[in-house]
């Protein structure tokens, strides 16, 4: 909804790369599981997770919960989604920070 509103305001509705959709927690878990089994990753703490086009940031926060990355980072082009992601991050920090200890960052900029 926020994505559509901003894309309409900016006149970029036709740009397919800005079309919104959110990854499911389960799908991301399956991806990490596949990478672990096939490539032996995630057997110890560390690494960096980056979501280029993080939307509201749910994928970044989900990644923080699935593995103790050194850093989880998201980059989002659309301002409305970035603003929502900051609220999500605040809520996450308030409720979850004692349970997981990732260092993560959300940025509002265009991925190169
Ligand atoms: C399909 S959504 C995925 C959202 C999130 N990664 C998820 O899986 O839940 C793609 C996102 O990428 C953003 N995006 C597209 N091109 C981008 C760019 N060049 N730089 C930063 N963000 C971009 C869009 O605004 C949109 O929010």
For 32-83, write each residue's pLDDT tens digit: 999 999 999 999 999 999 999 999 999 999 998 899 898 899 999 999 999 9
Q: What is the pLDDT of residue 103?
A: 58
The pTM (predicted TM-score) of the whole model is 0.86
Q: What are the C-alpha distances in Å from 92 to residues 3, 7, 28, 105? A: 21, 27, 18, 12
**Which residues form ligand 1's pocket by a CB distance below 6 Å?**
3, 17-18, 20-23, 51, 53-55, 58-59, 75-78, 81, 110-111
Half-sphere exposure of 84 (CA within 13 A, CB side): 14
Q: What is the pLDDT of residue 101?
A: 53
Collapsing DSSP states into helix, strand and coil, what is residue 97? coil
> pLDDT confidence of 93, banded at 50, 70, 90?
confident
């Amino acid at each position: 909804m926020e994505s559509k509103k901003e894309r309409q305001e900016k006149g970029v509705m036709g740009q397919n790369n800005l079309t919104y959709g959110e990854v499911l927690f389960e799908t991301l878990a399956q991806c990490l599981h596949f990478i672990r089994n096939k490539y032996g990753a995630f057997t110890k703490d560390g690494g960096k997770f980056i979501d280029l086009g993080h939307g509201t940031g749910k994928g970044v926060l989900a990644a923080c919960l699935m593995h103790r990355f050194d850093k989880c980072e998201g980059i989002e082009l659309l301002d409305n989604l970035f603003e929502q992601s900051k609220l999500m991050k605040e809520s996450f920090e308030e409720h979850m920070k004692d349970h997981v200890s990732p260092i993560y960052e959300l940025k509002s900029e265009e991925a190169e």
